[in-house]
Copies of this chain bind each other. A is one copy, B any other.
């Protein structure tokens, strides 16, 4: 399956999962930005929504809950703090740990934007029918 028969006819970039995945991600990012404007990025929203759900939480644990590695979550939390949506303090019981807490403004923002977040999900899936959406999500989850 190498040289003679179908040289590079066998490889179509635009049919590879990774490529399409990136395009779908781009579309989702655009929809998200349109709904959230300069309020929050998708990453910040994920971290903040999870933080409000969990309450006080180690930076490390928060990162694991939202699938961000340590270096990434640090930057995201830093920007949440800068915007006044969260605060950080050292854990007195374990001085390695940094405890992140949602601020009242953070909780309010999550409540405020919940509808918009759901709209983004709906808009992203809009090209599919209701049954297709269910199938798609089931399959997508398996690829996690």
Could you list which residues of chain A lie within 8 angstroms of chain B, going by C-beta atoms? 2, 8, 10-11, 13, 15-28, 32, 42, 46, 49-50, 52-53, 66-67, 110-111, 114-115, 117-118, 120-121, 124-125, 127-128, 132, 135-137, 139-144
Interchain CB contact (< 8 A) of A13 among B46, B124, B137? B46
Q: Known interface pairs A13-B46, A27-B143, A53-B13. Does A20 touch B137 (Cβ–Cβ under 8 Å)?
A: yes
How many copies altogether? Answer: 2
Do A28 and B17 touch (CB < 8 A)? yes
Cβ–Cβ < 8 Å partners of A53 in chain B: 8, 13
Separation of A8 and B22 alpha carbons in the complex (Å): 30
- Other A-B pairs, 6, CB within 8 Å; known A18-B121, A20-B144: A2-B111, A11-B114, A11-B118, A22-B25, A128-B139, A132-B142
Interchain CB contact (< 8 A) of A20 among B49, B117, B140? B140
Interchain CB contact (< 8 A) of A110 among B8, B32, B66, B127? B8
Do B66 and A124 touch (CB < 8 A)? no
Cβ–Cβ < 8 Å partners of A17 in chain B: 28, 121, 124-125, 137, 140
Smallest CB gap from A53: residue in B? B8
- A26 to chain B: closest CB distance in Å? 7
